[in-house]
Structure 1
Amino acid sequence: MALKSTLVLRRTYGEQGTNGTIYFDGEKICHTIELPWRNNLQRLSCIPEGCYKLEKRKYTKHGEQIGIPAVLGREAILIHAANNAMKQLLGCIAPVTTLTGEGTGDESARALEKLKALVYSLWEQGDEVFLLIREGR
């Protein structure tokens, strides 16, 4: 039977964007930026809090990425590189190394590599990987 591994994303909501931090086994992996909460509106809002199973997804534009397939009323939600939520995200989650403001950060590609290395190693062990999103630090 596959083991379940859960990453926890703790969010803070702002007018200009949603900032968060992803933890695994109590250890900080990276920060995240997302669009502000706008009632789960497609392309305009971050996704709702909850627990999501992560899956590998291949996209023409982004190559192979970590996908979040089972978001109610949404499709093609990914975890991919971006440094400015309002300019570069349409509902996806972007890992960043440092938060620089509401919905902004830097060194996203580096943070994404770190997150992918963790998630892919869990998948290679045969684990199912989940992302639990909740408010708070």
Structure 2
Amino acid sequence: MAVQHTLLLQRKYGAQGTNGTVSYQGEHICHTIELPDLNNLPRISCIPVGRYRLEKRRYPKHGEQIGIPNVLGREAILIHAANNAMKELHGCIAPVTTLTGEGTGDYSGKALAKLKALVYSLWDMGDEVYLNIR
């Protein structure tokens, strides 16, 4: 039976964007940036709090990424690199190394690589990975 692993995303909401921190088993992995919370409106809001099972997905624009399926009323939500939520995100989550403001951060590619290394290593063991957003 597959073991379930849960990444915790703790958020702070702002008018210009939503910032967060991802941890796994109490260890800091990266920060995150998202769009502001606008009641889950497609393409302009962050996704609602909840627990989501992560899946490997292929996207024409971003290649193979960590997908977040089963978000109510939304589709094609994924975790990909971006340093400015308002300019680069349409509801997805972007990992960043450092937060520089509401919805902005630095070194997203580096943070994404770290997050993917963790998630993929768990998937490679045949386990399930969940993202708990609160």
**Distance (whole Å) between structure 1 residues aligned to residue 100 and residue 124 of structure 2:** 33
Match for residue 25 of structure 2? Answer: 25
Deviation for aligned residue 1:111: 0.2
Deviation for aligned residue 1:69: 0.5
Match for residue 9 of structure 2? Answer: 9
Match for residue 68 of structure 2? Answer: 68
Quick one: percent identity of the two aligned structures? 76
**Distance (whole Å) between structure 2 residues aligned to residue 106 and residue 56 of structure 1:** 25
Which 5+ residue runs of structure 2 have no aligned equivalent? none
1:122 aligns with 2:129: no
2:74 maps to a residue whose letter is: R
Match for residue 90 of structure 2? Answer: 90
Deviation for aligned residue 1:84: 0.1
Deviation for aligned residue 1:87: 0.2
Which 5+ residue runs of structure 1 have no aligned equivalent? none
Question: What does the per-residue CA deviation read over 1:38-65, in whole Å, with 9 as the maximum and x for residues that have no partner?
Answer: 0000000000000000000001110000
2:109 aligns to what SS in structure 1? helix
Structure 1 vs Structure 2 CA RMSD: 0.3
Deviation for aligned residue 1:17: 0.1
Question: What does the per-residue CA deviation read over 1:102-124, in whole Å, with 9 as the maximum and x for residues that have no partner?
Answer: 00000000000000000000000
Name the TM-score, length of structure 2 as normaliser.
1.00
Name the TM-score, length of structure 1 as normaliser.
0.97
Moved over 4 A (4+): none
**Residue-pair matches, total:** 134
